[in-house]
Structure 1
């Protein structure tokens, strides 16, 4: 998810002064009703973009919606293995094109509706039949990544639909069929963007439309305020106070599984990492994510809990070859790669355990190759390549996000300044283009509006295709290139049913991608998350998929 991990997908807000952070203070949480403390407040790095996860691709949205919506398949707590979600079991036929899900009994949606196979199919058919702005990849990013296009594609560059049908075999058996086997499944069934909504809610969704295009998209009203969306999770969304940058969720007492350990869960956007740390130290919040590497030891000495997740992300500089035609020259792309001192970024900006990337996936995922073409820091070589390309006066717009930190990108402005300096030393003129993260920056990068941009991905599930296939399995506006050799390499890997053979094909695909060089993979890093001394924290996830229903107060 951009977080894309995993379409990573997919997040912001102006920094709040610690002095004005009042909700969820310790006195408010001193009550004990037998189910844990009253309110748990978490400091998020950015605003969600939508309360409907199907319209999102960013981690800050999914952090919120994951507490309220569940998918057919989930990941084990604290790990990356697939386990039952709303489906207690699942299986595919030998061709990998027919998936059968046995649903749990007695599951209720937040609006009182029952979970049935027909409800599941209503969700998938709803997404498949999207029209208009919903077919924009900035809105339906994950549907297009996992299932391809729509019942009727309206754009020439829309992917071919792979979704075929969903059938309710009986009340609690749903059968989903796709046209071709893909490495995106079964992992794709675990995505928040494909989490299951109440059929009554979907009826309400269908009466509203997203509008606009490119970086001027207006999302439907139901997705921007609480009251309509309804999932099956341990919490239900009850309020989104955009003025105070807070989303409030309440415990859902009819939840089918273990009840949440707190009555209320509040996500408060505090964009600046230092302000999040100060809020925790002041007792105004109970936890926060994306701890600055320099703060980990200090917080631990003060008695705070600061678990570090495993490495499962990638940070990269993307090129849009349609936004800037000079980037269509391979020598120019190579020059930019050689101009950026990635080792310095890892050394000065990332926590201990950060590594310089050689390809568009971390080395913790099977399919990572040790035979890819590499581009070590070399300013003189960068200048020479620009000469060869007759681009000594190359000028680029370089977009970067404001008011946000991400697991792979702890301080965007600092990272941008380092890379801007490196590029200018190679003779490249850089025009800064700062943008608010959600939805402006995400929409602009998704639509290929930036010559260069900074982005990254935290894996959604443990398969190499969730990284490299997310971007390079076919034409993508973010990158704006068409190269049959790259696309064919990914297609060969995706369609190979044998896991061992598929891993070898992923290695070959990584080698093809890094020879073509659509962008510059920079680094992977292990993000830390912090909790107050009196909190029983959830299991931390390498996929950043923490379940806050596991939280309680000591």
Structure 2
């Protein structure tokens, strides 16, 4: 049965629906696309909700996605077997009403919700579930790569073409509304992982009709299928209407939705990549809200009467060392770079209020956090000494490429360019020369996670569900283009830990793993930022979630 992780729930329980006591804000000056509902008078509500996205979705097929803006859109269109408990990262029933896992952890029987249809009218049933699981397992080529099928690659390890590596084994329909998923290896995070949008249930008919797996290009520049460009079909409360890349994505209410459809009849995700422009759009009334409020804007908006909503930190921002770069293979160099970073200065200068300093690659509320982990506190003189021991001096300085994204904000990285500026300055102070290399977000992800052709770089993570493997397991569970190292001892330890069902035993293993990671120094865990949202005065409540599991049918509007 589903297992709750009480430590996290105790910290962030009750954050699901936050009633916003908003002050006086600018009157809406919206486009003429909005409608009204109700009987008139104070019941009339503009049923178009405009939300500013920091970038386009990478694709409309969440199975081939790994970023927050893609998943924000996907969560409105698609649903998985498993959701999350409101205000937490713990698993909860969604398209599966209940489940039972065998004692050995290798088989889980899901009882499915009845009477659910996909947006194209096709029935959601056990056969559809198996079609989705088998689709992922049968991927080949680019689809089966870290660059494209990121989450399946990271969590389920292998495919039908090489079942010796695979975690998934088979799916059996036990009737229309009961389905058994069999695993080849124990995976304690299996059920929680199904809350990820990457494992949403999609219409098998639409997947086939629009060639969902006909992806092309290269790892550096993959191309979407016809399905991923404009034909996503799920069971969620909103249906896809249109996508104008660089401008907006429009969704409309699913009139046949099995649950509460809510007030909103149309969602417009308006792409505004600049944080200042997003703030100005809110102030002008052309949008209803936005995420990833810049630290410098929070106080000004709050003073003007806008309500700022901060999610509980369930994030990690890090500086990664790509060991495909020869200089970074030297542990003294990695240690020196760690001592060169002043995390306190970074947080105070450019990260939002409520940000916590990081000592390891997951937040303190996750099981397995090690309070006694080895740290590398800011010590520029020690950094210089280690660099000298590694052979780098003023006459022969260490030179590295420093990759960072531009024109994007992320929950763990609200302003990448500011973060890059602070960190590159700190590195320069100990004699490290960095060459800046910047890319737009989608290209940046393809470069840093899909190829070895990068240097030190900024990335991070918002936890997807409450399981330790979702942090350190995703980062360091196997060889990766992002990190560029082969550490069989670490891989084996993580593989063992992810299959342990006993929580106390598993927690102790993860504490040891966090120390092992700290001594290996794959990068510098920098901070746990607290992402902030801002809304107009017509938004009474918003279902804030630490894992961004926010479905807009749950928003309450007053006008």
Aligned to 2:121: 112
CA contact (8 A) 1:136 1:213 kept: no
Aligned to 1:218, which of 212, 223, 227?
Answer: 223
Structure 1: tracts of 5 or more residues without a match: 6-22
Aligned to 1:367: 368
Pair 1:159–1:516, CA change in 2 (3 A): farther
CA contact (8 A) 2:105 2:187 kept: yes
Task: Give me the whole-angstrom Cα distance separating, in 1, the residues matched to 2:115 and 2:164.
Answer: 37
Find out whether 1:101 has 2:110 as its counterpart.
yes
Task: Give me the whole-angstrom Cα distance separating, in 1, the residues matched to 2:88 and 2:542.
Answer: 12
Task: Give me the whole-angstrom Cα distance separating, in 2, the residues matched to 1:248 and 1:508.
Answer: 47
Matches for 1:283-322 after TM superposition, within 5 Å: 283-322=285-324
CA contact (8 A) 1:146 1:184 kept: no
Moved more, 124-133 or 214-223: 214-223
TM-score, scaled relative to structure 2: 0.91
Deviations 1:196-240 (A, max 9, x none): 00111121244752122231222223212x2x2200000011100
Aligned to 1:87: 96
Task: Give me the whole-angstrom Cα distance separating, in 1, the residues matched to 2:495 and 2:139.
Answer: 25
Q: SS in structure 2 opposite 1:190?
A: coil
Cα RMSD (Å) of the superposition? 1.8
Question: How far apart are residue 167 of structure 1 and its match?
Answer: 0.7
Deviations 1:74-93 (A, max 9, x none): 01233222110100111210
Q: SS in structure 2 opposite 1:125?
A: helix
CA contact (8 A) 1:148 1:159 kept: no
Q: SS in structure 2 opposite 1:240?
A: strand
Find out whether 1:45 has 2:50 as its counterpart.
no
Deviations 1:116-157 (A, max 9, x none): 10000001101111112112211001011221111114xxxx
Aligned to 2:177: 172
Aligned to 2:19: none
CA contact (8 A) 2:336 2:386 kept: yes
Task: Give me the whole-angstrom Cα distance separating, in 2, the residues matched to 1:98 and 1:24.
Answer: 54
Aligned to 2:448, which of 445, 449, 456?
Answer: 445
Aligned to 1:192: 197
CA contact (8 A) 2:402 2:434 kept: yes
Pair 1:165–1:104, CA change in 2 (3 A): same
Aligned to 2:473: 469
CA contact (8 A) 1:405 1:412 kept: yes
Task: Give me the whole-angstrom Cα distance separating, in 2, the residues matched to 1:180 and 1:492.
Answer: 10
Task: Give me the whole-angstrom Cα distance separating, in 2, the residues matched to 1:383 and 1:422.
Answer: 12
The alignment covers a number of residue pairs equal to: 524
CA contact (8 A) 1:144 1:159 kept: no
Task: Give me the whole-angstrom Cα distance separating, in 1, the residues matched to 2:503 and 2:341.
Answer: 35
CA contact (8 A) 2:404 2:457 kept: yes
Structure 2: tracts of 5 or more residues without a match: 1-7, 9-27
Find out whether 1:402 has 2:403 as its counterpart.
no
Task: Give me the whole-angstrom Cα distance separating, in 1, the residues matched to 2:433 and 2:300.
Answer: 39
Deviations 1:485-535 (A, max 9, x none): 322321232121101111111111100000001111000011111111011
Question: How far apart are residue 30 of structure 1 and its match?
Answer: 5.9
Task: Give me the whole-angstrom Cα distance separating, in 1, the residues matched to 2:271 and 2:369.
Answer: 35
Question: How far apart are residue 320 of structure 1 and its match?
Answer: 1.1
After TM superposition, which residue ranges in structure 1, 4 or more long, deviate above 6 angstroms? none
Matches for 1:147-546 after TM superposition, within 5 Å: 147-153=156-162, 160-206=165-211, 209-224=214-229, 226=230, 228-243=231-246, 245-322=247-324, 324-392=325-393, 393-438=397-442, 440-447=443-450, 448-546=452-550
CA contact (8 A) 1:162 1:178 kept: yes
Moved more, 31-40 or 117-126: 31-40
Deviations 1:368-420 (A, max 9, x none): 10121111111211111112122342211111001101111111001001111
Pair 1:159–1:546, CA change in 2 (3 A): farther
Question: How far apart are residue 538 of structure 1 and its match?
Answer: 2.0
CA contact (8 A) 1:489 1:508 kept: no
CA contact (8 A) 2:105 2:188 kept: no
Question: How far apart are residue 298 of structure 1 and its match?
Answer: 2.6
Find out whether 1:61 has 2:63 as its counterpart.
no
CA contact (8 A) 1:166 1:177 kept: yes
Moved more, 513-522 or 127-136: 127-136
Q: SS in structure 1 opposite 2:492?
A: helix
Task: Give me the whole-angstrom Cα distance separating, in 1, the residues matched to 2:38 and 2:141.
Answer: 48
Question: How far apart are residue 26 of structure 1 and its match?
Answer: 6.2
